Structures are given as C-alpha cells and as structure tokens.
Amino acid sequence: MQNVGFEVDKTVLEFEKDILNTKKNILQISNNGAVQGILRASNNEYLYDEEQNLHYDSWRERLENHFAVMMEQNPSYFQIRFIGIKNKGKEIVRVDKINEDITIVKSKDLQSKQNSGYFKETIKIKEKSIYISEINLNREHNTIVFPYLPTLRVATPVYEKNKKIFGMVVININVNILFNFENLDRQINIENYIANKDGYYLYHKDIDKTFGFEFGKKIFLQNSFNIKNFMSTKQDLYRYYDYDLSSAIAIKKVSLSKNKFIYVLRKADSKFFDAKSQDYFITLGIYIIFIAILIAILTLVLTRYLTLPIIKLATMANTISKSKNDKYVDVKIKSGDEIEELSNAFQYMLDSLYESKQEIEEFAEKLEEDVDVKTKELQVLNDGLETKVTNAVNENRKKDELLAHQSKLAAMGEMMGNIAHQWRQPLNAISGNIQFLKDDYEDGLINEEFIDNYTKENMEFINFMSKTIDDFRDFFVSDKVKREFSIHTCIEKPLNILRPQLNEKSISLNISGEDFILNGLQSELQQVILNIVNNARDILVEKNTANPIIKVTTKIENDTGIISIQDNAGGIPSDILNRIFEPYFTTKEQGKGTGIGLYMSKMIIVDNMKGELIVSNNEYGAVFDIKLKI
C-alpha cells in the first residue's frame, strides 16, 4: 500500500522548502545586477547607467530574461515582477506564466499596484526583509481570475544606496503546484484539509468549500473538527482519535513567515488503520527478526566479553586442579572488576599453596633423610634385637626344657616315693624269709619242697618289685616318637604305681569308660594324668574330704577322645580358675608345689599333642577334661 503519510509529510516538507527557496530567490533578485542597473539608470536624467554604460531598457531586458529563467526553474512561480515606488507603484518588469507559457509582459500592459495589500505591506518593511502574503485566489484588476488560482505572494523591498526605498520584487506562487493538490485528492482512506490561520478552507475535498471565504462563505475548519483548543495554543502538531467517526485526526501548523501560517489537517478512517496495522505488523515482524539477530550477535559478543575472564579463570583453575601444582602458575587477569579481584585472591592462594608445597616438599625431603637415618639406626638396633630375641627365645626354651625336666624330676620324686612304698612290703617279706632261713634249717624244715616254695615265694616278691621298676622305667623313658597306644593301658600304668599311696590315704581310684587307641607321645600323656591325679590327691588330703574319690573316665565324642579326671574336693575357687595353668602359680604350701605341673600339662596337651585341656567345676569338685583327636 502507498505510504500516504510519508507522501503528505514530503509534501509539507517540500512546501516549507519551496518557501525557503523562494525567500532565497527573491533576495538574490533584489541584489541582482540588473535590478541595481535599473536603479542607477533611473537616477540618470538620460536613463543611462554610466557605471556599466548600459541604458535603462537594456537593464530591463536583462531582468526580464532573468525572471524568465527563474520561472523556468521553479514550476510553481507563475508571476515575477519588479515594481517601482516613484512611478506610483507601476510594474517595471513583469513576467507571467500562462498555461505553461512564459510571457514577458509588454510595457504598455504593465499595471500600477500601489493599492494592493502586498504593496502597502512591503514598503513598510526593512531592507532584506521578506513579506509573505496570505494565500488567496489570484486577482487581476481587483477581480478574481478564473480558473481559480490559489496564490501566495512573496515580496521584498529594494533600497537605494541612500537607504531610500526604490521598489520591490514580487513573486506569485501557484499553491496548487506547491501542495500538489491533485495528489492529495487521489489518496485512499485519507481526507486532507488545508486552512489558513483563521480556519478558512484553502483546500477541501468539496470544491465548493475550497476558498469559500473568497465568495463570502463562512466555513471554518474548526467547525468540523475538535481543534479549537489547539488553534489557540502555540503547538505545531496535534493528534487525536475521533471515536464517533472511528478515525484519527492529525493537524499540523505549517509556518509561512513569522506570524503567518496555515493548517494542514488529515483524517484517517478505520480502513486506513486496518491496512496500516497489517503493514505495521509485517514491518514489525521483519524488524523483530532483524533486531533479534542483532541482539543475539550483540549478546553473544557481550557475554563472551563479560565471561571470558571467568572462563579463563575456570580453565586455569581446572588445569591447576589436574596438575600437581609443581610449577609456578600466573593466573592474574586484568579485567578491572571483581573478576580481577577474584583472580588476585586466587593467585594469592595459589602462591601460598605453591610455597606451602615447596615447604612440605623440603620438609618431606628432610623427613625422608631423618627417616633414613632413623631406619639405619633401627636396622642396627633391630639386628641386635633379633639376636637378643633369638637369645631370649633360646633362653626361654631352655627354661621350658628345664621346667619340663624339673616337672619330670618332681614326678620322678613322687614316683620314687611310691616305689619305695611299693617295695617296702616285699622287701620286708624277703628280709623276714632270709632271717628265718637259718632257723628253718636248724629245725630241719628245709627240704626240696621248702626250697621250691621258698624260691617261688621270693621270686614273686622280686617279680613284683621288678614290675614296679618296669612301670617306672616305661614312664620315664624320654619318648619323642609318636606311636599308637591304648588309653586304658596308658592310664593304668602310672596310676598303678600311685594306687598304694592312694589306698593308704583311703582315696578311691575309679577308672571307667570305653577304651580307645591314640596316636601320640604316651609318656607325656601319662605325665599329664599323673600330675592331675597327684593334685587331686593333694587337695583331697588337704581338705580331708569324706569318702575321697578320684574318677578317671574315658569316652569318645565325634572323633575326639575325652579323658575326664574329677575329684570330690569341692572344686577350684572361681577367682583362680583362670590362673591355674599359669607357670609358677600354686596354691600349695611353700616347698610342696612348684607351680609348673599344670603349666607343663597344658603345654604338652596343646602344643605337643594338638589337643585341649579344659578345667571346670561340677557339684562335687574339679573336672579336668583332656580332649585329643583320635
């Protein structure tokens, strides 16, 4: 759609430009050489310009030509005149344009204009000032010329050197051409109105109302539009919506001279808006897309500019975090804002970190050296220690061996006592037999039968004693070779030696349970059993228990042979129950116990035979369970 507003704006602007141009033109004419020549020639009695050696008529001719050229160049000019004052306001030079033909008016047709309004006004103004008339229809001899020609007259006075007014230059302008009224008529959905400063129509779509005031019709612009308030202000532009007519109205004051102006009013109806809206939104869409692209580019550039220091810092931080901080890194960023402060702080932290790391490394190196020295010292110490430990272990082993030996010796002592006890009776019997042998001989009792009986009896005693010694020897054989043996045989042998002593103390010894075969060190197990039974005997004697009894029971439970030795001495006090296997722990009087018997027993069962030795109390007394894998 045609951009009507722009066209009209252009028209208004061109109008103002034309007025300005005309003002320049008229001033240029007033200073024109031909005008000045006419001035000089007029003052000569022979109408001769002595300065330029030209006659008055020649200057006139030149001015006519100049006017004609100017009219040719300015299509809106239809009349240019040079009017004198001294000759009673008669035109000196006049060029007309009639139907596009430029005509130089002959001298006889020139008119006097001293009664014209513009003549009277122009002679009042100063040199180089410009008079602009109201716009009205062109008149000739005070009669409106037909076809009607809306005219604007521009005039300027021409002064002589002695500051006396000589005449004036007047240009008549065809306002139709100036405003391009034909164009205004063609505009769609827009109505155009032009009025003079009083509101009289200079242009109306209704031709009868155009210049109606020239024919006595009092039709005003302000009667049709709500612009009275605007007309009374000094504002140049006023716009408003007329909701009743659903149209928008804009009125502009177009200045002609200091106190003269005209109004240009435009009324756009709803159709105009619809069309414009569509146009507007299409344009808006294009603008928005264009601006969006522009903003996007700008935003990207700006954001890049803003975030570049942060990205740089982040990248550096990332690099530093991945590196081992083993070399000095410069992270200073010169952005002149908080990021620079941040980078400075970061740099400070990094420097501190770097220094700390250096210190730590130095410290670590020193520490490493120290550790090396200490390690060497420790190595030396360790070497010594190893020897010391080996020595101590050996010593300990020797001590253990000694302990075992002591234990064995103690047991041997016990056994020796028992053997002595066992041997006493047969020895007494043998002794008695020997003592009574002489008497028997004197009595003649000795015969073959007696000798057989005597030998048999004494041999029984000697066999008994021999058996005792065999048992003792079996027990004390230092047997380190494992072999299979019957548990009952193993138990009975040492207990048989002990039995007479137990009988003497009225202690019953009861061996029961199922027999089983063990593979191990028999003598050592015998030593353990003997130790436990001896302890039971001692406590039963010490406590003087009524009906003292020692029960030795054997049984098999899940591939484990269990030998239980229990007494009825009331049990071991609970406070020492956990301590009885400790070395040198004894409850016996000084000199009677060494405190190594049970310790050695535990060592034999646990270390040598890979079994268990557990002590507990039952309702009668202490129970020792020896558990051995069959």
Partner 1 sequence: MKTIRLKLSSKIALITFILALLGIVILFIISYKQTIFSEII
Site of interaction with partner 1 (CB under 8 A): 3-6, 8-9, 12, 190, 237, 239, 248, 250-252, 264, 266, 268, 273, 276-277, 280, 284, 287-288, 291-292, 295-296, 299-300, 302-304, 306-307, 310-311
Which residue from 607, 612, 604 is spatially nearest to 629, judged by alpha carbons?
Answer: 612
- Please, what is the minimum distance in Å from the beta carbon of residue 262 to partner 1? 14
Min dist. Cβ of residue 233 to partner 1 (A)? 17
Q: Which is nearer to partner 1, 241 or 436 (CB)?
A: 241
Q: What secondary structure does DSSP assign to 18-32, as a single string? A: HHHHHHHHHHHHHT-
d(CA 304, CA 295): 13
CB 180 to partner 1: min, Å: 15
Is the Cβ of residue 7 or residue 612 nearer to partner 1 in the bound state? 7
Judge whether 510 and 549 are in contact, CB under 8 Å: yes
Phi, psi of 109, deg, nearest 5: -95, 0
Shortest CB 314 distance to partner 1, Å: 9
Q: Nearest 5°: CA angle at 505, between 501 and 506?
A: 110
Task: Select from 2, 1, 12 the least CA-distant residue to 266.
Answer: 12
Residue 278 vs 390, nearer CB to partner 1: 278
CB of 232: closest distance to partner 1 in angstroms? 20
The four Cα atoms 181, 186, 190, 194 give a dihedral, to 10 degrees, of 10
In the complex with partner 1, the residue whose CB is nearer, 6 or 146, is 6
Q: How far is the CB of 296 from partner 1 (least distance, A)?
A: 6
Shortest CB 300 distance to partner 1, Å: 6
Which residues is 167 bridged to in the sheet? 84, 158
Of the pair 237, 481, the CB lying nearest partner 1 is at: 237
Nearer to partner 1, 5 or 583 (CB): 5
Question: In this structure, what DSSP letter does residue 605 have?
Answer: I
Smallest gap from Cβ 14 to partner 1, in A, equals 14
Element (H, E) at 252: strand 247-255
Q: Is 324 left (phi over 0), alpha (psi -120 to 50) or beta?
A: alpha
- Which residue, 270 or 519, has its beta carbon nearer to partner 1? 270
Choose between 275 and 320: whose C-beta lies nearer to partner 1: 275
Q: Which of 99, 75, 79 is nearest to 18 (CA)?
A: 75
Round the CA-based radius of gyration of the chain to a whole number and report it.
Answer: 76
| CA–CA gap between residue 130 and residue 132 (Å, rounded) | 7
The residues facing 81 across adjacent strands are 94, 170
